[in-house]
Amino acid sequence: MGRWQPDAQGRLQQAALDLFAERGFEQTTVAELAQRAGVTERTFFRYFSDKREVLFSGEAELRSAFVDAGAGAPRDATPGDVMIAALDAVATFFPAERRAFARQRHAVIRANASLQERELLKLAGLASALADALHARGVRGPAASLTGEAAIAVFKVAFAQWIADPDGRDLARIQREMLAALGHVTAPG
């Protein structure tokens, strides 16, 4: 393997994206990922339980930020205010320097049905976690679930625009634009 190099996890993630794009997710082995990253298979398994998790490794941190922002909103915050706080927290996970990585990851996921399913499960879990946080704040009835689902809808549409945005706008700004668009869509008459 040669001399130790720093950031094995980052190199494994980039190797995975490159190989998944070149050869396809199903056709790429853990051994090939490790070799491309310049590490052993054993090192791979220190960071990831399987090759799919290379693409979803930050999920727990993302969920925590989403829920913590919602739970930490002021007591008198409306469900909409809580949703905005959660979306703002999620946006911090995607600074401009992650756009190329996110774009590449998105393309890999779109090319594989099982990865699309895993992504949808992740998003459903985020919606449910925000709804639970709202329930804990005393929000009753369908308002908590609607708020969680609306937040994920805004995030999904904004994220797709963010990775394709030629102007380099940040995700938080695009999410605010999508919230405004949602307000127009749901406004009566």
- Please give the model's pTM, rounded to 2 decimal places: 0.89
* Whole-number pLDDT of residue 29: 97
Domains with residue ranges and CATH for the chain: 8-54 (1.10.10.60), 59-186 (1.10.357.10)
In angstroms, the CA 62 to CA 112 distance is 22
The mean pLDDT values, 10 residues at a time, for the chain of 189 residues are 69 95 95 96 95 92 90 90 94 93 94 95 94 92 94 96 93 96 87
The pLDDT of residue 48 is: 95
Q: What pLDDT shows up at residue 170? A: 94
Q: What is the pLDDT of residue 5?
A: 67
The string over 14-46, giving b where at least 16 C-beta atoms fall within 10 Å of a residue's C-beta and e elsewhere, is: bbbbbbbeeeebeebebebbbbbbbbeeebbee
Which pLDDT belongs to residue 166?
Answer: 86
